[in-house]
Structure formats: C-alpha cells, structure tokens
Chain A
C-alpha cells in the first residue's frame, strides 16, 4: 500500500524544491533530500516508493525548474493528483514520467491514508472504495506509449502527431 501525502492549494516550485537546493548547488546526489524542505520538512526522510501526493488547485506554479519534479522522481513518488496543474510543471512531470492526474481528492482522502494506485488504468483504491482518475490528454499518450517524450523523439526523430 501507498501513503497519501496531502497538500493544500498553490503548492509552488519553491515549496517542492527551494532554488537554493538545486542540484548544482546542493549536489546531484542529495538535492532530493530537500524536497518540501520548508513546508513538510519530514517528507524526504519518510516518503516511501509509490506514495501518492494529493493537492489542491494550481499545483506546481512558479519556476520551470525540472529538478523540482526530478527530486520527487528520485524519491520514487508514485503519482500526483490535483484538480489543476501549472503548465510548465505539468509538462515537466510528464516528461520525466511521473504520473499526474487532474482530479480533486482532497475532499475524499486525509493525509496518511493508505491507498493503491494503478498508474496504467488510473484506478485508485482506498479504504472506502475506488476512484477512476482521468487519463492523460490524448496527445500525450502517443509519447507515453514509448515510455517518455525523449524516448519517442529518439526513436522516431519527430514529435508525436508530427507528420513523419
């Protein structure tokens, strides 16, 4: 089972990883230990692989820093569910292969709840039942089918949807 880490509205990229702990400052090997350093200082030491983060609207506003979601990937976060995402961050999440679902779970689940998330089907199972999370936008599925946008581009030499 995975644990729910519940956050509020407007979790910004400085909340996720403060700029002063970017890999080129804190070190490539340790920067992820500063994830949520100011707003959830216990997070990085306690999060387990597969744990699911849920938040409110406008998750990931702010910087284009890809190392913020990279830190969550290094900590093996299983997915992020929020009713809306900031656009640069949303691209970064999907580019790094971190499952991101546009859905509001904050009214349903409490911090620390035990769940399981099937990232392929988008089915989240919790103590009281299951939730079908919406799939990623159609135009991204072609890339995700190859594993990532980088893998798609390397294989095909073009972007998904672009004429060959």
Chain B
C-alpha cells in the first residue's frame, strides 16, 4: 500500500502535500496515506497521565528522541486540586526520568511556549495533544492535534501516520481598517467555511506580507474550529525577517496546486466579528450584537489564551483601557499567554495600564478557557472572551453564555459593561 514509487509526472503541490512529502518516504498527494517523521511532540498536563500510561504500560516504550518531546504544564497551572497536583508531579518525574523537555507552571500556554522556544519551525511537523496545535502553521509548520494514543505512538516511534489532507485556499485581499484584527479575520473565515467546512482538510492561507507572527498564530489557531487538520500560512512579512527562521524554498505551495475550495476574504470591508453562543461558527457583526444585547450586562471579560494572549493582544486591550476603568459589576481577567509575554508587557508598562484600569492579572497559562479554574462562570452569567470556544458549559455552568471576540472588543466591553466596540468608549483616542 505504501510503495516508494514517486509519481512519474509530479503534479504541483499544496503546502500540506509538500511538507508531508518531504518528511515522509515519497511524494504524496491529497488522499494518500503517509507515514512521516515528527519533529516535535507536545504533551499537556491534562493528558500527561494517559500519555505515560500508554508509553509505559501499553507500549513498553520510552521516547525515541527525547529532545523531540516537550511536556507543558499549562491547562491547570498552578494546580487547583490534589489530583491535579499529583498528575503534574508525575509529569515532572517522567520528564526527569526520560530526558524530555518540561515547561513548568507559569512558563505559559503550550503553543506560545513552543513557538517562543523555536520548537516549531518552517517545514516541520509538530503534533500536540491539544486541538489548537494547528497554531504552528503560523510559521509554516504542519501542526496538528491528536489524542493521547496517537501522541504516545509519535513519541515512541518518532513518526505518525495520517491521510494527506485536501486543501482549502484562503486568499486575503486589501488591508484591515483600524480596530479590525486577525481575530475578526479568523472568525470571518470560520463563518464562511462553517464548523465542519474544512474537516480533514488543510487550510492554506495566502496573506502576502500581512500579519505579525502573533497574528498568524491567531489565524492558524482557529482553523481547527472549522474542523481542519492543519492551518498553514504561506511565509511572508516578519516571518521572513524577524525571527531568524531558515525557510526552505520547497515549503512554498506550487503554482497550479489542486484545492478543493478557494475563498477570498476582503480585509478592507471587514467589520469586527463576534461568535455568539454556543458554536464558534455562529458569527455576527459586533455592531449588530451590540444592538441586540444593549440591555445585557456582561459579568466577565477574559483576555488571554493561545488564541489571543500575546503582546499584540495586550497592547490592543491597553490602548482601549488606558486612563479608563472597568465598568462596575464587570470583572476583567487578563492572563498573558507566556512568561515572555508577561515580561514584555511588564517592561513596556502595559500591565500597569491594565492593572490601573481594574484588570485582574493571572498566571500565564490557559486560565478559565475550559472551565477548570481561575474564573469559571455562574449560572446565567455572560462572558465576552478572546478564547476559542463558546460551547455549552465550556467555562463553567451550562447556563452561562460565552461570546468570542478580539482583545479590542473585549476591552471596550469591559469599560462599557455591555457588548461594545472600541469607538463606543467615551474619549477613545483622546488620551495618549
């Protein structure tokens, strides 16, 4: 089934086909089965015990390449209960025994940490035990999420198997207007594709030189919310210049590659977007929801996560909150995505701005995104969050409501105490 024959007449390839061919044994195209080398395997605290059990009991194996395995303690960090503390203790002990990397409490969210540490690079294959592992596509790494069994097999063998995905081509045209962000672009993309519109597929984003690495991470991160296996952004802009990446020429998609669908998003006409409960593709104009929800008090605003907890995001929030106060009866939680983001935001005064505005600052990590600690919601509460899922019960009680938005919209909402745009904040733009 997996012959080594190369295609006699090579056809143009997508980025996904390119990377999976390069890291496999032969040239592959969408629909082929591929066994490929894995450059980095990422394990999070919430499945560490399952991972260790699969490795030790089910496979009787140790990591084939310890330097290609990272464990990150981020999903409930610091530990909230004795059972969580025990799981994290076992993860630390396993790392010490096997020599795999460990990023402990406070270092930050897995995807942000791997990116900062250079453990996701152009042309690499990175598998993570977290669905938002599509994030690595920001730097043209084939990032994909898998469960504990697949992750253990990848650690034990240094490889994985997968079907080469079809690709959806997304082309961005024009330029974003002020106040519109990568989060709004990603939500628009999900609205257009639908929550299962790219299932089993790779979303290949052609952005030219637009978007910082952090913004590209937001775009790639949310591709899984359209069901995608990977979300790859064609290298450009600061990816070429700012981080010293070695970008192989072969990683770029070929002219004439085959796509199952092509869409174009006109950035110049895009308005701020918001996902209403309780599916991510339930996307609206913020301006419309602001009218629909004008009498609805927002109890909590959460700025953070692998989707929007980076320095760009904290800057966007601080620009709205500078010299202002969070509305009475509204809680604003800000959790930087990593210790590096926290340090940068400390050094440039962003955290002071947020603290003075009334924000509650948390330890770098996932925070309340999946409803485990640090700000879960009571029945009937309304939360505007920069995170990635608004499912029933996701951040606490099943009768809490979660709206997903950009950091700028979240910050404006915190000031107004109801869904708002930055331009709604009195005096916005007048205070330096």
Residues of A at the B interface (CB closer than 8 Å) are 10, 12, 14-15, 18-20, 22-25, 27-28, 37-39, 57-58, 61-67, 69-70, 84, 86-88, 91-92, 95-96, 139, 149-150, 153-154, 158-163
Interface residues of B in 72-129 (CB under 8 A from A): 76, 80-81, 83-84, 86-87, 128-129
Assembly CA distance A31 to B128 (angstroms): 23
Q: Does B432 contact A (CB under 8 A)?
A: no
Nearest CB of A to B173, in Å: 29
Across the interface, do A153 and B46 meet the contact criterion of CB distance under 8 Å? no
Assembly CA distance A10 to B391 (angstroms): 10
- What would 20 A/B residue contacts be, using CB atoms closer than 8 Å? A14-B393, A14-B394, A18-B371, A20-B371, A24-B76, A25-B80, A28-B49, A38-B398, A57-B196, A62-B131, A64-B130, A64-B131, A64-B145, A65-B46, A66-B148, A67-B47, A87-B227, A96-B149, A150-B153, A153-B59
Across the interface, do B391 and A163 meet the contact criterion of CB distance under 8 Å? no
Q: Which residues of B contact A158 (CB under 8 A)?
A: 35, 157
Across the interface, do B156 and A153 meet the contact criterion of CB distance under 8 Å? yes
Assembly CA distance A27 to B49 (angstroms): 12
> Across the two chains, which residue of chain A brings its CB closest to B148?
A66
Interface residues of B in 14-55 (CB under 8 A from A): 25, 33, 35, 45-50, 54
Across the interface, do B153 and A149 meet the contact criterion of CB distance under 8 Å? yes
Across the interface, do A161 and B2 meet the contact criterion of CB distance under 8 Å? yes
Q: Does B389 contact A (CB under 8 A)?
A: yes
Across the interface, do B371 and A19 meet the contact criterion of CB distance under 8 Å? yes
Across the interface, do A88 and B146 meet the contact criterion of CB distance under 8 Å? yes
Across the interface, do B46 and A88 meet the contact criterion of CB distance under 8 Å? no
Across the interface, do A25 and B83 meet the contact criterion of CB distance under 8 Å? yes
Nearest CB of B to A157, in Å: 8
Q: Does B279 contact A (CB under 8 A)?
A: yes
Most buried by B among A58, A64, A162: A64
> Across the two chains, which residue of chain A brings its CB closest to B46?
A22
Nearest CB of B to A116, in Å: 29
Residues of B at the A interface (CB closer than 8 Å) are 1-2, 4, 25, 33, 35, 45-50, 54, 58-60, 76, 80-81, 83-84, 86-87, 128-131, 133, 145-150, 152-153, 156-157, 159-161, 163, 195-196, 199-200, 227, 229, 279, 370-372, 376, 389, 391-394, 398
Across the interface, do B131 and A63 meet the contact criterion of CB distance under 8 Å? yes
Assembly CA distance A20 to B366 (angstroms): 13
Q: Which residues of A contact B199 (CB under 8 A)?
A: 58, 84, 86-87
Assembly CA distance A154 to B29 (angstroms): 29
Q: Which residues of A contact B1 (CB under 8 A)?
A: 139, 161
Across the interface, do B147 and A66 meet the contact criterion of CB distance under 8 Å? yes
Assembly CA distance A39 to B130 (angstroms): 23
Across the interface, do A14 and B389 meet the contact criterion of CB distance under 8 Å? yes
Assembly CA distance A18 to B377 (angstroms): 14
Assembly CA distance A89 to B290 (angstroms): 35
**Contact of B391 (CB < 8 Å), options: A15, A64, A150:** A15
Q: Which 5 A-B pairs have the closest CB atoms?
A: A66-B147, A19-B370, A58-B196, A92-B147, A38-B398
Known contacts A19-B394, A160-B161, A64 near B146 by CB under 8 Å = yes
Q: Which residues of B contact A67 (CB under 8 A)?
A: 47, 50, 148
Q: Which residues of B contact A84 (CB under 8 A)?
A: 196, 199
Q: Which residues of B contact A37 (CB under 8 A)?
A: 393
Q: Which residues of A contact B150 (CB under 8 A)?
A: 91-92, 95, 149
Known contacts A14-B392, A62-B389, A149-B149, A159 near B35 by CB under 8 Å = yes
Across the interface, do B129 and A24 meet the contact criterion of CB distance under 8 Å? no
Across the interface, do B195 and A61 meet the contact criterion of CB distance under 8 Å? yes
Q: Which residues of B contact A95 (CB under 8 A)?
A: 147, 149-150
Assembly CA distance A28 to B163 (angstroms): 32
Assembly CA distance A58 to B227 (angstroms): 9
Q: Which residues of B contact A12 (CB under 8 A)?
A: 389, 391
Across the interface, do B84 and A61 meet the contact criterion of CB distance under 8 Å? no
> Across the two chains, which residue of chain A brings its CB closest to B2?
A161
Assembly CA distance A160 to B131 (angstroms): 24
Assembly CA distance A131 to B161 (angstroms): 31
Across the interface, do B60 and A154 meet the contact criterion of CB distance under 8 Å? yes
Q: Which residues of B contact A149 (CB under 8 A)?
A: 149-150, 153
Nearest CB of B to A71, in Å: 12
Nearest CB of B to A89, in Å: 8
Known contacts A24-B49, A57-B196, A64 near B372 by CB under 8 Å = no
Across the interface, do A25 and B372 meet the contact criterion of CB distance under 8 Å? yes
Q: Which residues of A contact B128 (CB under 8 A)?
A: 64
Nearest CB of A to B220, in Å: 16
Nearest CB of B to A64, in Å: 4
Q: Which residues of A contact B279 (CB under 8 A)?
A: 10
Q: A24-B46, A159-B159 are in contact. List 8 more A-B contacts (CB 8 A).
A: A19-B371, A20-B371, A22-B372, A62-B131, A87-B229, A149-B149, A150-B149, A154-B58
Across the interface, do B229 and A159 meet the contact criterion of CB distance under 8 Å? no
Q: Which residues of B contact A18 (CB under 8 A)?
A: 371, 393-394
